[in-house]
A and B are shown apart, each in its own frame.
Chain A
Amino acid sequence: MNILHLVALSLFPAAQPAPAAAPLKVVTTLSILKDLAREVGGDLVQVESLSDPREDPHYVQPRPTLMTRAREADVFIEIGLQLELWGGKVVEGSGNPKIQSGQPGRVIASAGIPTLELPQQLSREWGDVHPFGNPHIWLDPLNAKDMAANIAQGFERVDPAHKSEYEERLKSFQTRIDNALFGEALVKEVGGRQLARRARDGGLDNWLKDKGLSDKLGGWLKRAAPLKGRPIVTYHKSQIYFAERFGLKIPIEIEEKPGIPPSARHRDAVVELIKKQGVKTILEEVFYERGAADYLAKETGAHVVVVPIDIGPDVGIATYFDLIDNVVNRLLESEGAAAGDH
């Protein structure tokens, strides 16, 4: 830089390259939210997650660093639906006014996303249901799109100056999800939103057939087509959104009620169902005890497939796309291998 430059700069300060605005400090409960926040925020945000993907998201031990991070946050993102009960405690404990409930900096990623397991019919068992529906919404790629949209809205509330950037990045993410889920050709022809609506109301296959578009389907849905209608067993009800999207059936969970050891009859019912329906795969999250799954595997010959449901280097999952890829691949492997057995 020569003297003239310096003079020019001191005379016209506006000519200086504007110092990059400090990135928004974002804290998320789960790493999946961190990934979505990075997708939407890019360089404009600096994201940290409070939990480890190898932890049960329902139970995280509070540590002082969690409070410190929450104290400095501009935006706090959680799934909601009572998934992370510890999240609220961290936020309240941090005393950070920007991220308290109802403030612009608090983002509930599940807002407006229809949940499963809310009672549709009148049953005798009032009270024996999750009051907000099943909170494990993120293994459905369509929900990931909506979660990203909620996150983008939060960023725009707190940082309206960069609204267009957030919108653009959101759109790009949503298109990539659509392409990954339905295949690029179909998305181009039909549009992601229409496909999402048809997939959500369960009529995608029929609709595609109706319009003569069936052979244009690609992406995860095409690859996972062999899984359609296949029964699998899981430990906890954390895979039901994935199952719903990809047409798998989960006739029974190993866990009878979350956190309560199953009774013998339930255990036997699981064994019997596995045998009767020819279940080939027992899908379990990384953080649950293996005892039950191993017992069932030995008893029935089904495979235990352990998958992460969150993102992080420790579980070998870098992005949301890898997360879904991994579950699809592992299931195809297990079901394919199982088919080869017989």
Chain B
Amino acid sequence: MGSFLQSMALPFLGCLVLTGIHVYLGIHVLSRKVIFVDLALAQVAALGSVWGMLLGWDRASDPWIVKGFSLSFTFIGAAVFSMTRMRHERVPHEALIGITYAVALAATILFSSHLAHGAEEVSDLLAGNILWVRADLIVFTTVLYAAVGTVHWLFRRQFFLISLHPEQAEAQGISVRFWDFLFYVTFGFVVTSSVSIAGVLLVFSFLVIPAVIAILFVDGLRPRLVVGWAVGTAVSAIGCSLSYFRDLPSGPTIVVSFGFSLLLAGLVRYVVQSPARATALARVAGGAVVFALLFGGSLLLRKGEHRDVVRLLATGSPAERMMALAEAETDPALWARARPAAGTLLRTGETEVRVRILDLVERLRDREMLPEVHPLLLDASDTIRERALRCLRSVGAVESRDPILAAAEKEEDEYIKVEMAEALLELGDPRGFEPIIEEIESGEVAQARRDAWEHLKAHAHVEIAYRADLALAENAKAIAELRQWWKENEKKLSMDASGVYRDAGTR
């Protein structure tokens, strides 16, 4: 519980701050029938910051200037909304709000197509995340919202009159346009700062859902505020806990919790208000059963997980192939079936898949795959040639000798060539000395020559003073001796039990 509090306290406090002001504003918004005005103003604010950035200001280094742009745009939006509210509306206000939203979003996209951070700015509105909110920001926002709240409290008569009964306000000589403008300015101010904290989805839910639930049940401002705040607080608590204990992203969890709370509230109201409660209850129960059946039924449509390893190897994505190989490794029968597909993949698959199969062949010591491995000694990729050789060194048998020798003769990488020769020597084939001597004679890379010399010394007792770190010319004598030794012994050498080659006749 301690860690729950520690972890969710700030997001929950953030939710409370949002609840406080948004429930109140939500009641306004609902009575004005301008439900989506917050989305529109938030989008206009985003347009403002994009415009500021287009003028060269940077969000990271001049945050306040960019914020200033976004705020000024919000004010313009507020002016537009207050001026377009008509007394005998020919065009519903909601239409203008929708249009503003669409045009502002499109303009944001247009502007940001000339802006480096383009896509990010467009998606930024959704990005606010209540989880990263910090104490200082909560304090700052609380003070800000308290100030806005105070303004609204002081002028509550005007604000409510223009929201609920604009005609009466006009009759009393209150300038509807001016107070409308003030309303939208404060509203825009609040919404844009909330969106930057919590993202557009969460702000919209805080604004509308608690207010709707309150309106369903009670009349009058104060009761509605109380119910709205209670619902907002309760659902925030539920959402935060769900998010923590079920390990879900917080914002979306809270929004969905709000959705469920509204559904529940609607059903309760339906039952409570219906003249025949028993019937109503029965209907709700019936509806729940139908929903459960439909939803439960859809679970039967779950896509079956047929993991045919052979098919996945042939046609799957690299990730699926890797998983299929991992599965085949655990079951010899499965591997036997998968072998042909694996053989094809060794030639045509992605590098990772090929390396994985070589690994597998090595680990399973599967000699049947050797004919598929041999051609890889001539592969274009260094990595594959090296891994194939490694595989053969641990699994390989007599039949690998000729392919390795052929590959060593063609190999252009000096290290791999030396290792191929070493593999031959390990397999009891003295022809491995030839590429090693070649490397000592004419290799360009000092370290590879050194490796070659070490392998030679490990497999044969030669008394020759060769020094790999010297230039070729300075080793001329040693190399000539080495050639001589090889010429004399080429046909006579064979490997003893300790891996050293000796003259078979003198053993």
Contact = CB atoms under 8 A, between A and B. Distances in A.
A261 B327 contact: no
Contacts of A314: 116
Interface stretch (B82-90, B152-160, B440-448): B440-448
Nearest to B323: A119
B322 A120 contact: yes
Contact of B249 (A59, A261, A298): A261
A259 to B, nearest CB: 9
A132 to B, nearest CB: 5
Nearest to A65: B113
A80 B134 CA distance: 39
Nearest to A86: B119
Interface in B229-260: 240, 243-244, 247-252
Nearest to A116: B352
B445 A264 contact: no
Contacts of A264: 7-8, 11, 131, 240, 243-244, 247, 250
Contacts of B399: none
B288 interface: no
B391 to A, nearest CB: 14
B351 A194 contact: no
Interface in A105-148: 112-115, 118-123, 126, 129-133
A191 B414 contact: yes
A130 B119 contact: no
A59 B123 CA distance: 11
Contacts of A114: 351-352, 355, 383
B124 interface: yes
Q: Is the interface of B mostly helix, strand, loop or mixed?
A: helix
Given A130-B319, A191-B414, A261-B251, A287 B117 contact: yes
A265 B250 contact: no
Contacts of B109: 61
A214 to B, nearest CB: 13
Nearest to B119: A59
Contacts of B317: 131-132
A118 B352 contact: yes
Contacts of B124: 289
Interface in B288-326: 305, 307, 317-320, 322-323, 326
Nearest to A195: B447
B60 interface: yes
A163 interface: no
B116 A263 contact: no
A61 B252 CA distance: 26
Nearest to A198: B415
B413 interface: yes
A24 interface: no
Given A114-B383, A260-B249, A133 B129 contact: no
A120 B356 contact: yes
A54 B116 contact: yes
A191 B3 contact: no
A261 B382 contact: no
A8 interface: no
A48 to B, nearest CB: 16
Contacts of A230: none
Interface string A237-280: 00000000000000000000000111111111000000000000
Interface size class of B (residues with CB under 8 A): 35 or more
B250 A261 contact: yes
Interface residues of A, number: 54
A267 B131 contact: yes
Contact of A119 (B116, B326, B383, B415): B326
Given A131-B319, A211-B447, A55 B117 contact: yes
Given A63-B113, A115-B352, A56 B120 contact: yes
Interface string A129-172: 11111000000000000000000000000000000000000000
A13 interface: no
A190 B445 contact: yes
Interface in B343-370: 350-352, 355-356
B65 interface: no
A102 interface: no
A122 B448 CA distance: 38
A195 B488 CA distance: 36
Given A121-B326, A262-B131, A263-B249, A61 B119 contact: yes
B498 interface: no
Contacts of B450: 211
Contacts of A129: 319, 323
Contacts of A52: 116
A295 B136 CA distance: 11
B134 A191 contact: no
B132 interface: yes
B455 to A, nearest CB: 13
A295 B243 CA distance: 19
Contact of B415 (A60, A118, A130, A194): A194
A295 B355 CA distance: 42
B118 interface: yes
A197 B383 contact: yes
Nearest to A292: B132
Contact of A118 (B120, B318, B330): B318
Contacts of B6: 268
A261 B116 CA distance: 23
Nearest to B412: A193
B127 interface: yes
A290 interface: yes
Contacts of A341: none
A194 B445 contact: yes
Contacts of A130: 319
Interface string A293-305: 0110010000000
Interface string B439-470: 00000011110100000000000000000000
B274 interface: no
B326 A292 contact: no
Nearest to A130: B319
Contact of B318 (A132, A190, A261): A132
Given A61-B113, A263-B248, A133 B448 contact: no
Contact of A112 (B127, B249, B329, B351): B351
B112 interface: yes
B312 to A, nearest CB: 10
A213 interface: yes
B386 interface: yes
Contacts of B305: 126
B484 interface: no
A183 B182 CA distance: 67
Given A61-B118, A133-B319, A265-B7, 18 more contacts: A55-B118, A114-B383, A120-B322, A123-B323, A130-B319, A131-B317, A131-B318, A131-B319, A189-B446, A191-B448, A193-B413, A194-B447, A261-B250, A261-B252, A263-B249, A264-B131, A289-B120, A291-B127
User: 4 closest A-B pairs (Cβ-Cβ)?
Assistant: A54-B116, A131-B317, A122-B326, A295-B132
23 contacts: A53-B116, A55-B117, A112-B350, A114-B351, A114-B352, A115-B318, A115-B352, A119-B319, A119-B323, A189-B446, A189-B447, A194-B445, A197-B382, A261-B249, A262-B249, A263-B243, A263-B247, A264-B8, A265-B244, A268-B7, A287-B120, A291-B128, A314-B116
Interface of A: 52-56, 59-61, 63, 112-115, 118-123, 126, 129-133, 189-191, 193-194, 196-197, 200, 211, 213, 260-268, 287-292, 294-295, 298, 314
